[in-house]
Amino acid sequence: MDNPQNTRERILDSALNLFSRKGYHDTRMDEIVEESETSKGAIYFHFPSKERLFLALMDQFASLLERRIREAIEQEDEGMQRVRAALTACLDTFGKYRLPAKIMLVQAVGLGAIFEKKRLEVNDHFANLIRTYLDEAIKVGDISPVDTEIVSHAWMGAIYSVVIRWVYTGEPEPERILSTLLPLLLRSVSYDDSIA
């Protein structure tokens, strides 16, 4: 018999597949039961509602994204190299995890106030993370002072727009996004990445 953590992960994986294929509204809990090879009782033990299950998927992806970003910046000194590493890790993670990206960036839009609040909370969290590294870059003299709050949200908007298109269409491929968007964002704060 599976331990509760394995059961929870199986439920999340099944829900991820179904939500990304069918959408939130068209996915029934019975389908998640069937795909996860669990019982309704097991699902409701871990997630009291379909809404909570969906929010858990958003949290799971946000945690993965943050972990990847933090791992990437640990290798870098303070300053723009950390900003670059954070952006690279963010774009790379979206590129590798298309289904969770679709859940977080596409499916959550228009599902109601609770989902929108969660999506904005996640977006603000990552904008604040970027802002932290931009502030560091200013402090160490890598870039001139800028309004890092506005810049970090503008960067999140640019990332969001390009990644949304990729999630829907598969284009442009992640490598092209990274090689084009990253230098554009860095130049927007007058940082010449070619000299780094």
Instruction: Work out the mean pLDDT of the chain and round it to a whole number.
Output: 86
Q: What is the pLDDT of residue 113?
A: 82
Pairwise pLDDT comparison (172 vs 8), residue with the higher score: 8
Backbone angles phi and psi of 48, in degrees to 5: -65, -10
For range 168-190, the mean pLDDT: 86
Q: What is the DSSP letter of 103?
A: I
Both 1 and 40 in one domain: the answer is yes
For range 71-87, the mean pLDDT: 88
Q: Which of 117, 82, 53, 92 is nearest to 179 (CA)?
A: 92
What domain count does the chain have?
Answer: 2
Both 40 and 63 in one domain: the answer is no
Determine the structural domain holding residue 30 and report its residue range: 1-48
Using DSSP, state whether 147 is helix, strand or coil: coil
Give the list of residues 6+ apart from residue 9 with CB closer than 8 angstroms, or none.
Answer: none
Q: From 48, 63, 85, give the residue that closes a domain.
A: 48
Both 42 and 114 in one domain: the answer is no
pLDDT tens column, 57-72: 888 888 988 999 999 9
Q: What is the CATH number of the domain that holds 14?
A: 1.10.10.60
